[in-house]
Amino acid sequence: MSMEHMAQPIPELGEFIIANKDKLRNTGQEAEMNRLLTAIKLAAKVVNREINKAGLADILGAAGNQNVQGEEQQKLDVFANHKFIQALVNREVVCGICTEEDDDFIEVNKDTHFVMLMDPLDGSSNIDVNVSVGTIFSIYQRLSPVGSPVERRDFLQPGRNQIAAGYVLYGSSTMLVITTGDGVHGFTLDPSLGTFFLSHRNMRYPAKARIYSVNEGNYRAFPEGIKQFLAECHDDEAGPFSLRYIGSLVSDFHRNLLQGGIYMYPPTKKDKKGKLRLLYEANPMAYLAEQAGGRATDGFDRILDIQPSELHQRVPLMIGSAKLVDRVDQLMRQHSPDCRLHANQLAPAN
């Protein structure tokens, strides 16, 4: 067969994974990983279709119950959670699932190697106002023996053990951005074909970093170190920064990755742990950020080194261009050392 029919000029996600399988973190389970990513793609397309017509179908508004976080569950939250779980369970591609929408982890197929953790629809408060939302996912190789039921320790691994991580951004176009340990790559959905094609190869933070993303409505509750950083953003000698805050982590992260910047969800006087979840928000985004040349900390310690203790534990998050994250860390250590949470909760070096 002539080569011209062999390789797509623009590979789709599955072809890209196969073409780069030797760069997958050495799990020896490439076929299983490909089936897992295929399940994620399918669920993402189904959720995307519902989000695109949410204004039409009776699917807006609260679902009338609350999730483990005590947050009002939106119908699309519930729908997205169900569709991702269904895709993973029907294809039996994981041994367990941890999701923001369920109190405990879900046992699936004990004879498989990976666990998946996810926020099925992050930014859900934006759903009814037609602002971009996203799915965030994180994949680990299990620690417990294959053939036995999945265990809690399989989910409570430090973020640096991740085999793959990514997000789906349901925006003006639908993108799947992923890392398997060899850089960050973006795939854009061609809705006419239902296929994600490689559109952003090897995404890297640009040298320029002039955007900060934070809910300044919480300013008075921020620690002094954050206030000092905001003051520098307001009157930096190179001119003021731009404040961009969508209220959707995936959207703010994605823009900052493309244009350079930092997203912060700091601790506040009311809540020293911030709002975001370590296992299925901070860790996957931190893996992506570092793979793209950025940084992710809690203001003091590397997110990926934190040893989790609970499935739904929260953590402050400073993530994006390395020089901005480093500056925030420096100011937090200088002005707000009492805010350090994880000095005694860091995973021992491998």
| 313 touching ligand P6P, by CB under 6 A | no
Shortest distance, position 201 Cβ to ligand P6P, whole Å: 26
| 189 touching ligand P6P, by CB under 6 A | no
| 35 touching ligand P6P, by CB under 6 A | no
Nearer to ligand P6P, 176 or 264 (CB): 264
Shortest distance, position 144 Cβ to ligand P6P, whole Å: 30
Q: Encode burial over 228-249: b for 16+ CB neighbours within 10 A, e otherwise.
A: bbbeebeeeeeeebeebbbebb
CA distances from 303 to 40, 159, 214, 315, 325 (A): 24, 7, 18, 9, 12
41, 255, 275, 327: residue in contact with ligand P6P (rule CB under 6 A): 275
| 74 touching ligand P6P, by CB under 6 A | no
Q: Using the rule CB under 6 A, give the single segment among 156-164, 198-206, 234-242, 244-252 that binds ligand P6P.
A: 244-252
Report d(CA 105, CA 118) in Å as an integer: 11
Shortest distance, position 199 Cβ to ligand P6P, whole Å: 23
Report d(CA 237, CA 243) in Å as an integer: 16
Nearer to ligand P6P, 108 or 169 (CB): 169
Nearer to ligand P6P, 122 or 298 (CB): 122
| 69 touching ligand P6P, by CB under 6 A | no
| 249 touching ligand P6P, by CB under 6 A | yes
Shortest distance, position 245 Cβ to ligand P6P, whole Å: 7
Shortest distance, position 33 Cβ to ligand P6P, whole Å: 27
77, 100, 101, 122: residue in contact with ligand P6P (rule CB under 6 A): 122
Nearer to ligand P6P, 125 or 313 (CB): 125
Q: Which positions touch ligand P6P (CB under 6 A)?
A: 122-123, 125, 215, 247-249, 275-276
